[in-house]
């Protein structure tokens, strides 16, 4: 049997990949890696060329083989894929942990750094330093039984985190709300109503059927005049995978959450940290829990009074106490009144194909590359597109898939991920390839998908991650693109890119009315820009609530579901302004920190926002398309990937350390 995962191609052969290919391919690669590693060490390989390069090579091959599996599990999930994916998780975790706990390898890397250090490049030294740090974080020097325990914990965590994700996806997919009275749809945007009608038809039902995907949820929260409809979706959303709501206890993540926290804590203490938060910070730009807490508190002091004021004004506007499912609705109405602006009304100005074209033009102008669509590539879904980034000399720089529409069996949210990492190890090279995934409303029968401006901002954000991955010039996979970048600096290129979606120079490039082709009129443009800081206080405290909650549950001894909820309640008491009902089980679907990479790292969004706003202020000072500033951003930050310290890179670009003022100014929170 030929296995498409084991064939070598520039791009994955998605259409040929079946669930039964997955485990055999991953087992075979890991076995080969183990044999090769042992052979290298037995032969006494202890130089950069003889040891580090082959290990980079084997890790690269494994990660590009695994990447399409993880991707498909996220975007075209099925029972078979899920089972195969889950069967591989412990294998991969065991391999990575064995590698990181390998004492002979650790000693060899230390020797290489010592002996060859002076003749190596800064990037090569950084790779070795990162690796040595990761050896220590995996407990390389521990006695055998404690090493085994560490490994077992890593494997259990991988399994539990995957289960956490599955529960959220299943709970989200299982829910729907059937509406038969047209009056209950009042206020909803036509495309949302149309989608709900089509969904009902598909199930041979009268009326309209609302599922719980992000476009539906957000539209109902912001626009549905019929309060019970809002309440119904709100309840379903905040009780997913919990002991509450219509599927109470069915896919409950409560026990998983406490298990995950307990295991993470044990893991951290095994390798000498007081708690998981400090362990997590060992690889980040921020140096300690105290520093992060101080940073968040500083933002809280600036934003909470503003948020309170905004909330009071909103309450007065609504003319009554606000329930949690009222906030977005009245906020939208007030915004409409204050700025004569409706996010929904602007959709026709942002047809997806035009936004994409404009976004590409911005990147092309900034970084001197070209972005070209390619046909005839292999894919897992007909909605997927593929593009290449081309250098001025016509050589290829990288490529990316875009998969932008919401559908069932696809994880919610938006993200960028690595398909292939850049590799340039002697003759054998690979160009970086990315996935860009969003959950926008699919196109209608006769018109393209129309975006709200905040969806446009999301697209810019993910493309910023993509550029970081694809424009890298680093040759070694483990520090190329986003690899090896401190997690709290990873959101710098993405949040930086968001700023362009808010510029009067850029809006005419990305807007064209779907029927008339005219760009966003000047008046609308001014209203939109004026609305940027609308409810910035409330948005900020919401992010602070997530970040402080995450930091606390990972630094304090939290062991039960009750303590998790109590901690959240305390954090909300301190920073939140919106009142949450008792049935709210937000943590149960907080994938960022329980199953994604943001554990004790949610603060990274705000941390990197400071970097991004400060970096962007350099563009504001000299013109947002200033060639020199863009060049410096490209060479100091984007091309460097994880090959250098994030702070050093920032200082090289900005000429000084980051300052918080540009962010406060951007949010309208400056004193
Ligand atoms: Zn991001």
Nearest by Cα to 451 from 513, 408, 387, 400: 513
Specify the pTM: 0.91
Task: Express each pLDDT in 615-637 by its tens digit.
Answer: 999 999 999 999 999 999 999 99
Q: How far is 231 from 248, CA to CA, in rounded Å? A: 17
pLDDT higher than 90, residue 306: yes
Do 449 and 406 contact (CB within 8 A), yes or no? no
CB atoms within 10 A of CB 530: 13
Sequence-ordered list of residues with C-beta below 8 angstroms from that of 145, at least 6 positions apart, any chain? none
Q: 4 C-alpha to center of ligand 1: Å? A: 31
Average pLDDT, the chain: 96
CB atoms within 10 A of CB 621: 10
Task: Express each pLDDT in 325-334 by its tens digit.
Answer: 999 999 999 9
Farthest CA pair distance, the chain: 78
Task: Express each pLDDT in 487-517 by its tens digit.
Answer: 999 999 999 999 999 999 999 999 999 999 9
Q: 458 C-alpha to center of ligand 1: Å? A: 9
Q: 462 C-alpha to center of ligand 1: Å? A: 6
3-state secondary structure of 398: strand
Decide if 462 is catalytic: yes
Q: How far is 658 from 661, CA to CA, in rounded Å? A: 9
Q: How far is 430 from 195, CA to CA, in rounded Å? A: 41
CA distances from residue 120 to 124, 184, 484, 640 in whole angstroms, order as listed:
6, 68, 18, 16
Do 424 and 639 contact (CB within 8 A), yes or no? no
pLDDT higher than 90, residue 341: no
Specify burial of residue 580 (Cβ count, 10 A radius: 0-12, 13-18, 19+). Answer: middle
- ∠ CA 92-94-96, rounded to 5°: 70
Q: How far is 607 from 543, CA to CA, in rounded Å? A: 11
Half-sphere exposure at residue 238, Cβ-oriented, CA atoms within 13 angstroms: 16
Specify burial of residue 349 (Cβ count, 10 A radius: 0-12, 13-18, 19+). Answer: buried
Q: 252 C-alpha to center of ligand 1: Å? A: 27
Q: How far is 131 from 108, CA to CA, in rounded Å? A: 11
Q: What is the 3-state secondary structure (H, E, C) of 179-198?
A: ECCHHHHCCCCHHHHHHHHH
3-state secondary structure of 437: strand
Q: 49 C-alpha to center of ligand 1: Å? A: 35
pLDDT higher than 70, residue 1: no
Which pLDDT band, with edges at 50, 70 and 90, does 215 fall under?
confident
Across 198-207, 249-258, 381-390, 421-430, least confident range: 421-430
Task: Spot the catalytic one: 310, 332, 462, 524.
Answer: 462
Q: Which residues partner with 440 through β-bridges?
A: 405
pLDDT higher than 90, residue 444: no
Q: Which residues partner with 405 through β-bridges?
A: 440
Q: 493 C-alpha to center of ligand 1: Å? A: 9
Q: 200 C-alpha to center of ligand 1: Å? A: 34
Q: Are strands 208-211 and 176-179 parallel, antiparallel or unpaired?
A: antiparallel
Listing DSSP states for 558-586 in one string gives --SHHHHHHHHHHHHHHH--S---TT--G
Task: Express each pLDDT in 519-565 by its tens digit.
Answer: 999 999 999 999 999 999 999 999 999 999 999 999 999 989 999 99
Q: Are strands 208-211 and 433-440 parallel, antiparallel or unpaired?
A: unpaired
Q: 41 C-alpha to center of ligand 1: Å? A: 39
pLDDT higher than 70, residue 86: yes
Specify burial of residue 89 (Cβ count, 10 A radius: 0-12, 13-18, 19+). Answer: middle
Nearest by Cα to 493 from 364, 337, 649, 388: 649
Q: How far is 595 from 603, CA to CA, in rounded Å? A: 16
């Amino acid at each position: 049997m030929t296995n498409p995962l084991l064939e070598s191609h520039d791009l994955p052969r998605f259409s040929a990949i079946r669930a039964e290919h997955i485990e055999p391919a991953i087992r075979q690669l890991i076995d080969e890696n183990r044999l090769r590693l042992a052979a290298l060490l037995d032969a006494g390989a202890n130089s950069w060329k003889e040891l580090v390069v082959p290990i980079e090579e084997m890790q690269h091959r494994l990660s590009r083989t695994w990447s399409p599996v993880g991707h498909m599990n996220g975007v075209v999930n099925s029972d078979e894929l899920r089972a195969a994916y889950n069967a591989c998780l412990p294998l991969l975790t065991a391999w990575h942990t064995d590698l990181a706990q390998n004492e002979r390898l650790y000693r060899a890397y230390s020797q290489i750094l010592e002996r060859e250090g002076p003749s190596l490049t800064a990037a090569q030294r950084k790779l070795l330093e990162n690796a040595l740090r990761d050896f220590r974080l995996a407990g390389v020097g521990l006695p055998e039984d404690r090493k085994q325990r560490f490994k077992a914990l890593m494997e259990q965590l991988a399994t539990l985190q995957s289960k956490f994700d599955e529960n959220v996806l299943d709970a989200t997919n299982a829910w729907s709300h059937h509406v038969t009275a047209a009056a209950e749809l009042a206020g909803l945007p036509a495309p949302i109503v149309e989608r709900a009608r089509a969904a009902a038809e598909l199930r041979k039902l009268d009326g309209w059927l609302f599922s719980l995907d992000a476009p539906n949820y957000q539209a109902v929260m912001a626009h549905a005049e019929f309060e019970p409809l809002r309440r119904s979706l709100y309840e379903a959303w905040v009780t997913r995978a919990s002991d509450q709501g219509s599927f109470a206890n069915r896919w409950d993540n409560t026990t998983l959450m406490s298990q995950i926290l307990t295991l993470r804590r044990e893991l951290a203490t095994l390798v000498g940290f007081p708690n998981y938060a400090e362990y997590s910070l060992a690889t980040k730009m921020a140096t300690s829990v105290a520093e992060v807490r101080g940073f968040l508190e500083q933002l809280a002091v600036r934003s909470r009074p503003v948020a309170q004021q905004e909330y009071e004004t909103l309450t007065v506007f609504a003319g009554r106490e606000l329930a949690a499912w009222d906030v977005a609705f009245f906020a939208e109405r007030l915004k409409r009144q204050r700025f004569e602006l409706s996010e929904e009304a602007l959709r026709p100005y942002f047809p997806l194909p035009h936004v994409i074209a404009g976004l590409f033009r911005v990147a092309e102008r900034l970084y001197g590359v070209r972005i070209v669509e390619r046909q005839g590539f292999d894919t897992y879904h007909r909605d997927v597109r593929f593009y290449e980034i081309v250098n001025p000399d016509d050589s290829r720089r990288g490529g990316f898939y875009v998969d932008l529409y919401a559908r069932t069996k696809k994880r919610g949210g938006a993200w960028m991920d690595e398909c292939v990492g850049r590799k340039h190890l002697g003759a054998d090279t690979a160009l970086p390839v990315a996935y860009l995934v969003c959950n926008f409303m699919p196109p209608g029968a006769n018109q393209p998908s129309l975006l709200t401006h905040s969806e446009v901002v999301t697209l810019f954000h993910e493309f910023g991650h993509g550029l970081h991955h694809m424009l890298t010039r680093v040759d070694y996979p483990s520090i190329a693109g986003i690899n090896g970048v401190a997690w709290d600096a990873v959101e710098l290129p993405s949040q930086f890119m968001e700023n362009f979606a808010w510029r009067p120079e850029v809006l005419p490039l990305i807007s064209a009315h779907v029927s008339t082709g005219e760009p966003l009129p000047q008046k609308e443009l001014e209203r939109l820009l004026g609305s940027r800081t609308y409810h910035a206080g409330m948005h900020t405290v919401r992010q602070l609530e997530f970040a402080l909650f995450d930091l606390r549950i990972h630094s304090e001894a939290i062991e039960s579901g009750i303590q998790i909820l109590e901690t959240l309640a305390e954090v909300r008491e301190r920073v939140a302004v919106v009142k949450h009902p008792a049935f709210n089980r937000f943590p149960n679907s907080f994938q960022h920190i329980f199953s994604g990479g943001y554990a004790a790292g949610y603060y990274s969004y705000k941390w990197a926002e400071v970097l991004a706003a400060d970096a962007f202020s350099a563009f504001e000072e000299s013109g947002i398309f200033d060639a020199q500033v863009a060049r410096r951003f490209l060479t100091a930050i984007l091309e460097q990937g994880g090959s250098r310290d994030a702070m050093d890179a920032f200082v090289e670009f900005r000429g000084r350390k980051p300052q918080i003022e540009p962010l406060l100014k951007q949010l309208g929170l400056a004193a």
